Structure 1
Amino acid sequence: MFIVDSDCHNYWCSATVLEPYMDGFFKDMFVRGEKTGPRGAFPHGHRPWFHPEGFSRHDVNPVEEDDNYALMKEKHLDKYNIDVAILTGDEPIEASTLANAHYANALCRAYNDYMIDYWLPKDSRFWGSIIVAPQDPKLAAEEIRRLGSHPRIVQVLVSHGAQRPYGDPFYHPIYEACAEMGLPFAMHLGGQGGVNSTPIGAGPSTFFWETHAILPQSAMTHMASLIAQGVFEKWPSLKVVIIECGVAWVPSVLWRLDANYKALRKETPWLKRLPSEYFKSNIRMSTQPLEQPENVQHLWATLEAMDGENTLLFASDYPHWDYDDVTKLHIPPAWREKVLGLNALDVYRRIPRPAAIAAE
């Protein structure tokens, strides 16, 4: 079975690996002036809570920079016969928390160049994401156009942490660039803190486990906004991938959106279809972390309601603490071929289809 991991984090031991990719004033800021924490830390606005056990698996303990790839190869890629790993970085999406959009953009540019130079050549299974800082959509669009034609780049990636819902016309230059370069737009959980609003409408939560359970709130907001603001009418071929926000909430939100649209559609006359129809044609969800009810049939009924066979993409979230391998994917067996790989091939069009699949 062809397996595509849509969320594979390529780590570093120290953010100093970015220094060769920066110059001028921003390099001076990075090396000397504006860094939060000790040398080797990536600058970002701090969160109000921290993971009590650390975000990474305890058996992934790199010492040297090259250990990161060696451990990924041993404990994930080879162990589970992963055919394609979409690299989603890690700390760089936290650039969205910085007030200085120019500095955030410089950090993203440095990471993207480092990823292309260091990570992509290491393994033919690797495909890259362009990480952009959405604080300044015009700068983000420039970065997308700068690297968007690279043959091993398959998507544009931002954090869920944002100053506005992602359907807001403020962000439309990003989608215009994505459409121009033929790339999907993906948002990954993270980026809370700094200049970004919290995903919790009543204010920040107290404990990490509590916060982690309710983080889908930000994804609900972004999904509703993308649909309501007509992003998919303006760019009908644009695919949006929502990563690491759970999935069981999707049907209930779509039911509410459909009901309210039917009653109040005159607010958004540019929409031609039901919100649920835009979701099924344009939005994809990563499986990690997939909810775990006591009765798996309850989950499967929910997934069926969102056309999960066609809208889910397998994700491992390697090497984070709540990592899922392919053996722990609790979906209907008949869906496995699509969810583990074929759906991703329909989104990430630059990845060649294996001959056996192409012939079907």
Structure 2
Amino acid sequence: MIDCDVHNGWDSARVLLPYLDRSFRDYLDRGELPGGRDSFPHGHRAWLHPEGYMRYDTLPPSGGAPATDYAYMCEQLLDRYDLDYAILLGEEGMEVSTLANPYYASALARAHNDWVLDTWAPLDDRLRISITVAPQDPEGAAAEIRRVGGHPSVSQVVVTSGSQRPYGDPFFHPMWEAASEMRLPIAAHLGGQGGVNANPTGTGPPTFYWETHAMLCETGMGHLASVLAHGVFERYPHTRLVLVECGVAWLPAVLWRLDADYTALRKETPWLKRLPSEYAHEFVRVTTQPLERPRNPDALWTALDDIGGRDMLMFASDYPHWDFDDPFTTRFPAEWRDAVLDGNARALYRLPAARPREEAAGAGA
């Protein structure tokens, strides 16, 4: 089993200071962190979670923040569920996308990547790293992808779904070009609202956290449509788009609409050679958490089956967040389980073939 959404964090953003150039170190040390504020700088969050973003039981017994203690993560996740791999996406690092200063944002992304590769990557061969980039600085993002994208522990690039414009826009093409060159997917993880980024819904900012969380899937829809319409995969065929934590039930309806409108209006985008749904089936992957639960469970799988969803879904737990999905209790059709829990992610991230269980158990972590 492969978990495609695992968050690893820090107790204080001060861990980045040794990795920053002097001028940007002062930004963080003197401008952001004084007064006991050790969290990562990001745009102000307008929606406060009434219970907190983390599972309370993920606080390590040794102290510190959730997902900062590798041994406790093994106990609660990697070993408990016998994971072959966990795709790490960081925590607050992704929110560099909210910052107005693109040079500072890229400097923080570089520092974050160096810290993760120094401190987390050596711990366990099961950990695979997502490198953070600042999409508001696409040339800087491209340089960062080329700088560390060849590291053997790196599996993808990560940005937030909160952005200044949809990710198919030619503004972002340097980022896609570098990802294709390095044979890396780009994952858009839900979040990054605030700061310089656009409103998360088409009608403006919602009022309540639960309302907002339910509607943030709009950002995934917008990025998907944009990437398909702009022909990103015709231009850069060696990359992929991964939508993380954006939900899945909306995917068939959006692709049906895109196919219908493209068929009627295809002269707008003559660079496309196939239906949007055909590009999506080959080049887009979607993680399962949060997995919608209709009253008739079969309804979800019937709709997803129409677009070839068995080949597109990848399991994610979202550890250690409040809406964690337990792989032992999350239900999939029997004929989908191997692909969703393992095969799709293993192919996307070009991971070694799974070992027989008895061999893996004898080898240890």
CA distance in 2, matches of 1:16, 1:294: 47
Aligned to 2:87: 86
Q: Say which SS state the counterpart of residue 56 (structure 2) adopts.
A: coil
CA distance in 2, matches of 1:36, 1:275: 49
Residue 306 of structure 1 and its aligned partner are, at CA, apart by 2.7
Aligned to 2:128: 127
Aligned to 2:51: 53
Counterpart mapping for 1:159-308 below 5 A = 159-308=160-309
CA distance in 2, matches of 1:122, 1:152: 11
Residue ranges of structure 2 left out of the alignment (5+ in a row)? 358-365
CA distance in 2, matches of 1:114, 1:264: 47
2:29 aligned with 1:31:
yes
Give the 3 Å change call, closer, same or farther, for CA 36–164 of structure 1 in structure 2: farther
**Could you give the per-residue CA deviations for residues 301-359 of structure 1, whole angstroms, max 9, x where no partner exists?**
1221231211000111000000012123222111111110110011101x2223559xx
Residue 99 of structure 1 and its aligned partner are, at CA, apart by 0.2
CA distance in 1, matches of 2:314, 2:43: 30
Are the equivalent residues in 2 in contact too, given 1:287–1:313 (CA < 8 A)?
yes
Aligned partner (choices 20, 23, 36) of residue 22 of structure 1: 20
Q: Which moved more, 1:216-225 or 1:7-16?
A: 7-16
Residue 72 of structure 1 and its aligned partner are, at CA, apart by 1.1
Q: Say which SS state the counterpart of residue 190 (structure 1) adopts.
A: coil
Give the 3 Å change call, closer, same or farther, for CA 142–67 of structure 1 in structure 2: closer
Residue 18 of structure 1 and its aligned partner are, at CA, apart by 1.2
Give the 3 Å change call, closer, same or farther, for CA 37–200 of structure 1 in structure 2: farther
Residue 121 of structure 1 and its aligned partner are, at CA, apart by 1.1
Q: Which moved more, 1:288-297 or 1:37-46?
A: 37-46
Residue 237 of structure 1 and its aligned partner are, at CA, apart by 2.9
Are the equivalent residues in 1 in contact too, given 2:180–2:237 (CA < 8 A)?
no
**Could you give the per-residue CA deviations for residues 169-224 of structure 1, whole angstroms, max 9, x where no partner exists?**
00000011011111111110010000001121111000000001111000000000
CA distance in 2, matches of 1:295, 1:37: 52
CA distance in 2, matches of 1:254, 1:214: 18
Are the equivalent residues in 1 in contact too, given 2:286–2:312 (CA < 8 A)?
yes
Residue 112 of structure 1 and its aligned partner are, at CA, apart by 0.4
Counterpart mapping for 1:143-158 below 5 A = 143-158=144-159
CA distance in 1, matches of 2:306, 2:251: 9
Aligned to 1:5: 3
Residue 248 of structure 1 and its aligned partner are, at CA, apart by 0.3
Residue 275 of structure 1 and its aligned partner are, at CA, apart by 0.4
Are the equivalent residues in 2 in contact too, given 1:237–1:282 (CA < 8 A)?
no
Q: Say which SS state the counterpart of residue 116 (structure 1) adopts.
A: helix
2:317 aligned with 1:312:
no
Counterpart mapping for 1:49-128 below 5 A = 49-62=47-60, 63-64=63-64, 68-128=69-129
Aligned residues: 354
Are the equivalent residues in 2 in contact too, given 1:7–1:87 (CA < 8 A)?
yes
Letter in 1 for 2:22: G
CA distance in 1, matches of 2:229, 2:35: 40
Are the equivalent residues in 2 in contact too, given 1:36–1:44 (CA < 8 A)?
no
Residue 35 of structure 1 and its aligned partner are, at CA, apart by 4.5
**Could you give the per-residue CA deviations for residues 237-260 of structure 1, whole angstroms, max 9, x where no partner exists?**
321110001000000000100000
Residue 167 of structure 1 and its aligned partner are, at CA, apart by 0.2
CA distance in 2, matches of 1:286, 1:113: 26
Identity of aligned residues (%): 56
Letter in 1 for 2:54: S
Q: Which moved more, 1:28-37 or 1:270-279?
A: 28-37
Letter in 2 for 1:51: H
Residue 16 of structure 1 and its aligned partner are, at CA, apart by 1.3
Letter in 2 for 1:14: S
Are the equivalent residues in 2 in contact too, given 1:309–1:339 (CA < 8 A)?
yes
Q: Say which SS state the counterpart of residue 5 (structure 1) adopts.
A: strand
**Could you give the per-residue CA deviations for residues 125-152 of structure 1, whole angstroms, max 9, x where no partner exists?**
1010111000010000010011011111
Letter in 2 for 1:302: A
Residue ranges of structure 1 left out of the alignment (5+ in a row)? none
Residue 297 of structure 1 and its aligned partner are, at CA, apart by 1.0
CA distance in 2, matches of 1:37, 1:236: 48
CA distance in 2, matches of 1:154, 1:19: 25
Are the equivalent residues in 2 in contact too, given 1:112–1:131 (CA < 8 A)?
yes
Letter in 1 for 2:197: N
Give the 3 Å change call, closer, same or farther, for CA 328–142 of structure 1 in structure 2: same
Letter in 2 for 1:205: P
Query: Normalised by the size of structure 1, how large is the TM-score?
Result: 0.95
Letter in 1 for 2:11: C
Q: Say which SS state the counterpart of residue 328 (structure 2) adopts.
A: helix
Aligned to 1:354: 354
